[in-house]
Every structure is written in structure tokens, then in C-alpha cells.
């Protein structure tokens, strides 16, 4: 049996015994959310894996990505979701929401859920949430993303609103979100099915990988700057799954928790990556390519990078690499694989 086959069998076995195993670990929890006293460290349970749960039946506690234990006596009934990725996954397992942020075009929604998601009342954008509007819906749970919405989470807690912070940079984190959302929505079996489907899709791609470990630099484009993505990013994690060598691996991040480091063109020239992958946070994917075309034309140092001079540049779509693809994570893996190995996987655009 191959390593991938063993991994697939193990994942299915874990899904089958999840409820029984977690029920044995059940703990009695009070309603609401407990913050540790000032100066206390986050819960040690946060180190047990992404978003560990004490049980798959209520009452239960979930240790979220802020390291706090979020307690549930029963399933939440009035949920507000402040990020498109989380909204996409929540609806994919059969959940509903009383309010959300605007669903942008770079969220690749499941077609049968799209209309329902866009019909939910909005409380601003992911980067500009109206806290008063959120409060007016009297939610019993608000779901936020780690990093960009840390301040939002703090304000919610000050108002006594229960918040759950999630993160989806890796496949393991994505699976943890599905597992938790499945329990909270009352659809754990649906969540297990989605986890298996995503895992099987990733395994299909990995099984076809040719030998070798091509090197890449993952350039990150914004409206005002360029940086390089580290391993702890969506693109970096997928590159690792595909056995690619990220030349920025091990470099110091911009700040604690950041997934980028400053772009050093001299270091890129010295490393001579086999491929240049471009991720972005600009208005559209086309804008990202235009921005990089301008950069390559205006900064002649790039012409010393063989991959640039020879056209080995690939632009990664925001729906997969700025935001986690959620239900389409396997297609994101296939997309990057096709960028590097088009002879094996074909044109990357077929996976978009």
C-alpha cells in the first residue's frame, strides 16, 4: 500500500470513529465564553492540533485560534460570519447565518449555496466590519478569521458577544474548521464527507507527482508593495504538499504571525528558483499580472532571474491562494501542480 493510500485509509478510519472517541473526552462546560484572567497563557489545548474539541456532542468546548476556550451548552442559533472563507465552509456543511460580510468575487462559492449566502444581510466588509450592526442582530456566535480580524474579536468580547476565531492556511486547519462547523451546525456526517472528498482530491494530485523537488519563489503583490510568502501561508503550505522547495523557507517573517517576508531581489537572483509563483491582494487577478508586468519591465534586476527571463511565471488565483478554496481546496492543489508540471496535469486554468 502506498503512503498516500495509507493516509487516505487512516483519514477514513478517523472519520468513522471521531464521534465515539471525542465523546469519551467530553467535559461539562458552562454557557458563553471564558477568557483567562489577565496575564494567563492561552489554553494548552491549542497545541493539541487545530481547533481541538472536547466532544462532538453538547455541551462542548472548542479551543480556537486565539487559544481561548469557547464553550457551548447547545448549538448556536443566531450566527454571524465575518469572512467569506468561513461563510463558504459553514454553508457547505448545511449551516445558515443571520448576518455576514459582503461576499466578494474572489470567494469561490458552491453553486447551490451562492444565492442563499448572498441573500444574508451584510454588516460591512471583511476589513471594515460594523460592530454595532453585528450587535443589532443579537448573535449567539460570531465567527472571525485569525490575523486580519483580531481587533474585531477583541471588541466583540468586550461587548460580551461570543466569538470563535478560525484560520485556514493549511489542509489540516481547513479540516479542523469543517469538523467544528459540522458539529456546531448539527451536520457532522456532512463535514466528514467533505473532509474525505477534499483529502481524496489532494491525494489524487500528489499520487501523480513526478520525481524531484523544483524550487519556487512565491511573490505576494499588493497595491503598494511586493513581498515573499513563507511556508506558513496558503501557497506555502500547498507548495510543501507538492514537494516544492520554497526559497524563502526559514526566513524571518515581517512580524510575529506574519506569513510574508520582505522581497529581496538579490537573494532571488542568487537562489535562481525554477519557477516564480505570484499571489496577490489587489482588485483582480488581472491587476496582479499588470502590476508584475510593470515591475519586471521597470526593475532590470529581474532579468537576472532565469525563470523570469524564460517565462516560468505563474499567477495564482485569489479564490484559491488569497482566500482558502474551502470546498475547492483540492483544485487549488491541482492548479499549482499544473503550473509546475503542465506536462502531467495539463493547463492550470482547467482547475480554476
DSSP string, 94-110: T---SEE----TTS---
Tens of pLDDT, residues 97-147: 999 999 999 999 999 999 999 999 999 999 999 999 999 999 999 999 998
**Is 216 found in the same domain as 174?**
no
**Alpha carbon distances (Å) from 114 to 15, 86, 262:** 27, 14, 37
| Cell numbers linked to 178 | 469543517
301 and 265 in contact (C-beta within 8 Å)? yes
Identify whether residues 128 and 181 lie together within a single domain: yes
Q: Which residue has the higher pLDDT, 166 or 148?
A: 166
Asked which of 204, 227, 253 is the last residue of a domain, the reply is 204
Cα 138-58-142 angle, rounded to 5 deg: 25
CA–chain centroid gap for 308, Å, is 28
Q: Are residues 262 and 346 both part of a single domain?
A: yes
**Confidence grade of residue 238 (pLDDT, cut at 50, 70, 90):** very high
Q: How far is CA 54 from CA 47, 59, 262, 302, 320, in A?
A: 14, 9, 40, 51, 31
Domain boundary among 204, 233, 258: 204
Residue 5, pLDDT above cutoff 60: no
CA atoms within 13 A on the CB side of 266: 0
Considering the domain architecture, whether residues 134 and 216 belong to the same structural domain is answered as no
Residues 293, 225 share a domain = yes
| Helix H or strand E segment including 166 | strand 163-166
pLDDT bin (cut points 50, 70, 90) of residue 239 is very high
User: Do 270 and 215 share a structural domain?
Assistant: yes
Q: Write down the residue that cell numbers 481547513 correspond to.
A: 174
What is the number of structural domains in the chain?
2
Q: What is the mean pLDDT of residues 192-210?
A: 99
Q: Are residues 39 and 118 in the same domain?
A: yes
Taking CA atoms, 289 is separated from 79, 314, 349, in Å, by 37, 9, 15
The pLDDT score that the predictor gives to residue 235 is 99
Residues 263, 331: one domain? yes
Q: Which domain holds residue 154?
A: 3-204
Looking at the structure, tell me whether residues 244 and 265 fall in a common domain. yes
Q: Is residue 230 located within the same domain as residue 343?
A: yes
Quick one: which of 156, 198, 157 has its CA closest to 178?
A: 198
- Residue among 82, 52, 85 nearest 67 (CA): 52
| 258-272 per-position pLDDT tens digit | 999 999 999 999 999
Domain final residue pick, 170, 186, 204 = 204
Q: Which three cell numbers stand for residue 198?
A: 477534499
- Residue 330 reports pLDDT greater than 50: yes
Give CA–CA dist 212/209, Å, rounded. 9
Angstrom distance (rounded) from CA 169 to CA 264: 24
Pairing of strands 33-34, 163-166: unpaired
Helices (H) and strands (E) in the chain, counts: 14, 15
Q: Tell me, what CATH number does 288's domain have?
A: 3.40.50.1980
To which residue does cell 493549511 refer?
170
What was the pLDDT predicted at 46?
Answer: 36
Give me the pLDDT at residue 80, please.
98
Using only C-alpha atoms, what is the Rg of the chain? 21
77 and 170 part of one domain: yes
Phi, psi of 346 (to 5 degrees): 85, -165
Same domain, 191 and 235: no
Amino acid at each position: 500500500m502506498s503512503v498516500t493510500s495509507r493516509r487516505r485509509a487512516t483519514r477514513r478510519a478517523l472519520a468513522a470513529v471521531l464521534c465515539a472517541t471525542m465523546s469519551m473526552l467530553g467535559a461539562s462546560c458552562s454557557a458563553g465564553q471564558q477568557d483567562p484572567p489577565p496575564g494567563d497563557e492561552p489554553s494548552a489545548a491549542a497545541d493539541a492540533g487545530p481547533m481541538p474539541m472536547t466532544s462532538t456532542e453538547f455541551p462542548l468546548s472548542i479551543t480556537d485560534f486565539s487559544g481561548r476556550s469557547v464553550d457551548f451548552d447547545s448549538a448556536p442559533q443566531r450566527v454571524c460570519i465575518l469572512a467569506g472563507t468561513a461563510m463558504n465552509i459553514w454553508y457547505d456543511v448545511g449551516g445558515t447565518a443571520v448576518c455576514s460580510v459582503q461576499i466578494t468575487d474572489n470567494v469561490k462559492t458552491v453553486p447551490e449555496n451562492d444565492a442563499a449566502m448572498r441573500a444574508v444581510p451584510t454588516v460591512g466588509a471583511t476589513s471594515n466590519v460594523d460592530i454595532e450592526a453585528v450587535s443589532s442582530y443579537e448573535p449567539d456566535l460570531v465567527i472571525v478569521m485569525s490575523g486580519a480580524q483580531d481587533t474585531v474579536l477583541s471588541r466583540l468580547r468586550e461587548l460580551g458577544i461570543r466569538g470563535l476565531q478560525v484560520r485556514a492556511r493549511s489542509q489540516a486547519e481547513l479540516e479542523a474548521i469543517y469538523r467544528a462547523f459540522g458539529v456546531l451546525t448539527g451536520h457532522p456526517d456532512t463535514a466528514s464527507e467533505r473532509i474525505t472528498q477534499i483529502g481524496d482530491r489532494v491525494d489524487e494530485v500528489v499520487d501523480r507527482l513526478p520525481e524531484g523537488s523544483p524550487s519556487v519563489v512565491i511573490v505576494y503583490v499588493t497595491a503598494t508593495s511586493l513581498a515573499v510568502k513563507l511556508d506558513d501561508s496558503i501557497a506555502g503550505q500547498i507548495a510543501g504538499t507538492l514537494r516544492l522547495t520554497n526559497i524563502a523557507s526559514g526566513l524571518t517573517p515581517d512580524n510575529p504571525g506574519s506569513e510574508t517576508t520582505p522581497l529581496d531581489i538579490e537573494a532571488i537572483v542568487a537562489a535562481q528558483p525554477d519557477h516564480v509563483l505570484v499571489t496577490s491582494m489587489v482588485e483582480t487577478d488581472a491587476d496582479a499580472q499588470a502590476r508584475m508586468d510593470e515591475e519586471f519591465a521597470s526593475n532590470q534586476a529581474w532579468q537576472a532571474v532565469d525563470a523570469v527571463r524564460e517565462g516560468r511565471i505563474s499567477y495564482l488565483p485569489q479564490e484559491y491562494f488569497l482566500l482558502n478554496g474551502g470546498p475547492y481546496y483540492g483544485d487549488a492543489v491541482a492548479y499549482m501542480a499544473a503550473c509546475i508540471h503542465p506536462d502531467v496535469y495539463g493547463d492550470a486554468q482547467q482547475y480554476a
